[in-house]
Amino acid sequence: MSKSRKTKKTFTFRRKKKTEKKISQQKLEDLVISLFNNQPDSAYSIMQIANALEINTPQQRTQLNSFLEILLEDEYILEMTKGVFRLRYKVSIFDGVFDKKSNGKNFVTPDDGSEPVLIAERNSLHAMRDDRVKVRMFARRKGYQLEGEIIEIIEHKKDTFVGTLEVSSNFAFLLTDKRWSNDIFIPKDKLKKGKTGDKAVVKITSWPKPEKSRNPIGEVIDILGASGNNNTEMHAILAEYGLPYHYPESVEKAARRISEEITAEEISKRTDFREIPTFTIDPKDAKDFDDALSVRKLKNGNWEVGVHIADVSHYVSSKTVIDKEAGKRATSVYLVDRTIPMLPERLSNELCSLRPKEEKLTFSTIFEMNDKAEVKRSCIARTIIRSDVRFDYEEAQEIIETGSGQLHQELSVLNKLAKLLREKRFSAGAIDFDRYEVKFEIDEKGKPLNVYFKEAKDANKLVEEFMLLANKTVAEFIGKPKEGSKTKVKPFIYRIHDLPDPAKMENLSEFISRFGYKIKTQGKNRDISTSINRLLDNVRGKREQNLIESIAVRSMAKAAYSTQNIGHYGLSFDYYTHFTSPIRRYPDLMVHRLLERYMAGGKSVPLQKLEDECKHCSNMEQLAANAERSSIKYKQVEFMSDKQGQVFDGVISGVTEWGIYVELNANKCEGMIPIRDLDDDFYEFDEKTYSLIGRRKKRRYRLGDEITVRVGHANLERKQLDFVLIHE
């Protein structure tokens, strides 16, 4: 019984008095494959297969014969002897991480990085997203996706989930995002007075055996409020990512006890910049001003530029209750309508904030620069400043453009120097990912009234260049071996950015070629980065700009914190750290402490402990970024919720086997056209070209295609917009 035989083999079965009934082909296939997969080392005769699956009628037996022929052709089974079959391949077992999908097409990525394995919901043991699991891989049919089943949950990644309560008379369920978990059963006495429709945080207390229940059991640990309320939804986003949404009272009390007095003794230890023109430039709604700039002309004609950073380490000592909380958070979180600060507001908005007309303690990098922005000398010092003016970016930009206003000469000088620094940086191979930010105008209840896009102008770039220079200088001060010195470099925190993955660069090159663009994917690092910059310049102002920029960013490695310095590819710096934002980033506070220690001749800190803290900070940074994106997505869906039925032009921003993602040109809101709604043909996903292709008409929907859609449905609970395709 093989592909080379011309006649189809028939088999004899015992007659049973049963109604002639055809089984569905999909059900038959599932039954036969499950039989082989469940006993991968066993061989079965036709009769054994039929009996095991209760296949009794002539029609069903004909279907079985045909399907076994197909499995032989697919090289899925072997015919051991006449009419006896077994799996062709030995089944393997591996460990990996489970990725749960709302459409039931779940995957496990093996630890060795090999091809992901499809896990049907029925074979998932009700695992949760990101759980570590043990998988038995099924034999593979030619042309089919690798598939397997979870045989053990090694470790549950999460035990706390956010969702909406559904309460009955004797029990309740937490209805969760199906991409993460199954609904959670809650006994009535563990509800914490929660009501149907409340958003709640639930901790799982037990995991019943999968054969007994698919639902874990949990208890409510916090009621966030009614679904749809703005505060409730923002807190739910934070809780979803395990981020805090309020400050422990013990930490607030400790912050309130800190004295604001700056003693004469403390001032005597510092370089005094209080009489030098100094200012801050920040967003209009900012309250935590952690960097200031000063500038004055020296007698030799050069410029002295001071980059002054809030001296948080003076107020927050290591291992105190405030420090432990800040270390756990690792970063401030910026959602659409609020900031969740790393430090209590007493510190972030008052004591450490470089507010105008107030004396403040700072840690500074001071540069002597000529008119060509060449650094002739630099030093790092503890200082005291008094900011003259608090500018927002718009005010500073207007002064730069008009040449008039407070400190216009100082702003003009710094702007000129910053442009020269920027030009040199790009000449050295830095990449110009100068993207716009999505911003919202919102009312007092948090409802979005408008979407707009904020682009970086000269005032933003001025601040950026001097912060980059300060960070680079601090990293070189500690990490760069001194000429002629045999002293070993001490452990330090670096901000690193690895080289792009060659395979991703090839994919980017292939994608942009459809728009008529080219980039270099091989050669010297500087040549590649110059090529990327040319691409970014060429797409600026074009309809495909946002899409190509997004794909280009995804082709890059992620920046991270590490004690192992490999340089920063995107900035083209051999040495780089984060020193300039200790109010909102814990690594900067750690860098301040290391600087103080090493400048005083202190011993090296333990390397492994520092590396562990770097990994924690990198992880928390990623969580905070995910929460920020989630809040933007929520507000975009909320903004579009009253626009159902309206028609928009857009561009295809993503293609998957379950649908097409479309980004609207007018407001950059993204939604999806489910594949089930493309009803003019049967569409298949082409993974190589990121396309959906119609089987009969061969119509193709590709990444980057222009498209017109109607807003169908806005689901705030899932932060999802559904679009309907408008056919040409």
Token couple for 39: 């006993």
Distance, CA of 109 to CA of 1 (rounded, Å): 36
The pLDDT of residue 294: 98
DSSP letters, 642-692, are T-TT-EEEEEEEEEETTEEEEEETTT--EEEEEGGG-TTS-EEEETTTTEE
When mean pLDDT is compared across 135-144, 285-294, 351-360, 411-420, the lowest value belongs to 135-144
**Contact by Cβ (8 Å): 566, 498:** yes
Check if the beta carbon of residue 288 is closer than 8 Å to that of residue 338: no
| Measured distance between the N- and C-terminal CA atoms of the chain, rounded to whole angstroms | 50
Give the model confidence (pLDDT) of 615-650 as tens digits.
Answer: 999 999 999 999 999 999 999 999 999 999 999 999
693 touches 705 (CB < 8 A): no
If you write DSSP's letter for every residue of 192-216 in order, what string do you get?
TT--TTEEEEEEEEE---TTT-SS-
Global confidence as pTM: 0.84
Give the helix/strand (H/E) hosting 225.
strand 217-226
Which pLDDT score, from 0 to 100, does residue 689 have?
72
pLDDT digits (tens, 9 = 90+) for 293-326: 999 999 999 999 999 999 999 999 999 999 999 9
Element holding 23 (H helix, E strand): none
Mapped onto helix, strand or coil, the DSSP state of residue 291 is strand
Task: Write the DSSP symbol of residue 486.
Answer: -
What average pLDDT does this structure show over 537-560? Answer: 85
pLDDT-based confidence at 55, cuts 50/70/90?
confident
CA distance 350 to 347: 5
Three-class DSSP category at 474: helix
The answer to which of 2-6, 239-243, 295-299, 529-533 has the lowest mean pLDDT is 2-6
The total of other beta-carbon atoms located within 10 Å of residue 198's CB is: 23
Q: Which among 625, 712, 727 is positioned nearest to 671, based on CA atoms?
A: 712
Nearest to 335 by CA among 633, 583, 631, 636: 631
- Give the pair of three-digit tokens for residue 14: 């015992």
And the tokens for 228? Answer: 């749809």
Cross-strand pairs, 265 = none
pLDDT tens digits, residue range 330-389? 999 999 999 999 999 999 999 999 999 999 999 999 999 999 999 999 999 999 999 999
* pLDDT tens digit sequence for 661-683: 999 988 989 999 998 888 888 88
Q: Is the pLDDT of residue 13 over 60?
A: no
Query: Would you say residue 251 has pLDDT above 90?
Result: yes
How many CB atoms neighbour CB 261 within 10 A? Answer: 6
Q: What is the pLDDT of residue 365?
A: 98
Parse the chain into domains and list their residue ranges.
Answer: 25-87, 93-155, 160-227, 459-631, 641-725
- What is the fold of 160-227? OB fold (Dihydrolipoamide Acetyltransferase, E2P) (2.40.50)
The CATH T-level fold of domain 25-87 is Arc Repressor Mutant, subunit A (1.10.10)
Structure tokens at 326: 């800040």
Q: Which residue has the tokens 């002539």?
A: 58
For strands 132-137 and 147-155, give the pairing.
antiparallel
Regarding beta strands 147-155 and 117-120, do their DSSP bridges make them parallel or antiparallel, or are they unpaired?
A: parallel
Q: For position 103, what pLDDT does the model report?
A: 65
Nearest to 195 by CA among 232, 218, 165: 165
- On the question of pLDDT at 566 being above 70, the answer is yes
Report yes or no: 583 and 470 within 8 Å, Cβ to Cβ.
no
The residues near 229 (Cβ < 8 Å, ≥ 6 apart) are none
Span 466-490, pLDDT tens digits = 999 999 999 999 999 887 777 889 9
**How far apart are the C-alpha atoms of 138 and 23, rounded to whole Å?**
24
Three-state SS for 471? helix
Token digits for 57?
């009628």
Q: Phi-psi category of 278—alpha, beta or left, where left has phi over 0 and alpha has psi -120 to 50?
A: beta
| Banded pLDDT at 15 (limits 50, 70, 90) | very low
Indicate whether 574 pLDDT > 90. yes
Whether 693 shows a pLDDT value over 70: the answer reads yes
State residue 102's pLDDT score. 67
Q: Rounded distance, CA 503 to CA 515, Å?
A: 20
- Least reliable range by pLDDT among 96-100, 418-422, 688-692: 688-692
Residue 16 has pLDDT above 60, yes or no: no
Token pair of 519 as six digits: 């980039």
Could you tell me the CATH superfamily of domain 641-725? Nucleic acid-binding proteins (2.40.50.140)
Please, are residues 183 and 165 in contact by the beta-carbon 8 Å criterion? no
Is 80 exceeded by the pLDDT of residue 22? no
Which range has the top average pLDDT, 78-92, 155-169, 598-612, 659-673? 598-612
How high does pLDDT run on average in the chain?
89
Rounded to the nearest angstrom, the gap between the alpha carbon of residue 253 and the centroid of all alpha carbons in its chain is 34
Taken in order 500, 504, 506, 509, the sign of the CA dihedral is negative
Contacts 24+ apart (CB under 8 A), 71-76: 71/32, 71/141, 72/1, 72/2, 72/3, 73/3, 73/142, 74/141, 74/142, 74/143, 74/144, 75/141, 75/142, 76/33, 76/36, 76/139, 76/140, 76/141, 76/142
Of 28 and 649, which is predicted with more confidence?
649
pLDDT of the residue at 295: 98
Establish whether domains 160-227 and 641-725 are of one fold.
yes
Sign of the CA dihedral with 77 first, then 80, 84, and 89 last:
negative
Residue type, 228: G
Residues 6 or more apart in contact with residue 212 via CB below 8 angstroms: none
The highest-confidence range among 16-30, 89-103, 120-134, 326-340, by mean pLDDT, is 326-340
CA distances, 560 to each of 21, 463, 566 (Å): 62, 22, 11
Above 80 in pLDDT, residue 155?
A: yes
Query: In the 8-state DSSP scheme, what is residue 446?
Result: S
pLDDT digits over 113-142, tens only?
A: 788 899 988 888 888 888 999 998 887 777
What is the band of 46 on the pLDDT scale with cuts at 50, 70, 90?
Answer: confident
Q: Which residue has the higher pLDDT, 44 or 292?
A: 292
Q: Could you tell me if 163 and 196 are in contact, meaning their C-beta atoms sit under 8 angstroms apart?
A: no
Tell me the H-state helices in 161-296: 230-240, 249-256, 264-268
Residues in the chain, total? 728
pLDDT band at 407 (very low <50, low <70, confident <90, very high): very high
Higher pLDDT, 564 or 47: 564
602: CB partners within 8 A, 6+ apart: none
Residue 8: the pLDDT is 38
Contact, 135 vs 148, CB < 8 A? yes
Is the Cβ–Cβ distance between 68 and 29 less than 8 Å? no
Q: For residue 215, name the pLDDT band (cuts at 50, 70, 90).
A: confident
Record the tokens describing residue 498, joined without a space: 């690895």
Work out the average pLDDT over 235-248: 93
| 269 has pLDDT over 80 | yes
Which two three-digit tokens encode residue 461?
Answer: 């770039």
For residue 272 the two structure tokens come to 């005094």
The rounded distance, in Å, linking the Cα atoms of 378 and 305 is 9
CA 654 to CA 636: how far, in whole Å?
Answer: 17
Q: Which fold has domain 93-155?
A: OB fold (Dihydrolipoamide Acetyltransferase, E2P) (2.40.50)
**399: enclosing H helix or E strand:** helix 393-402
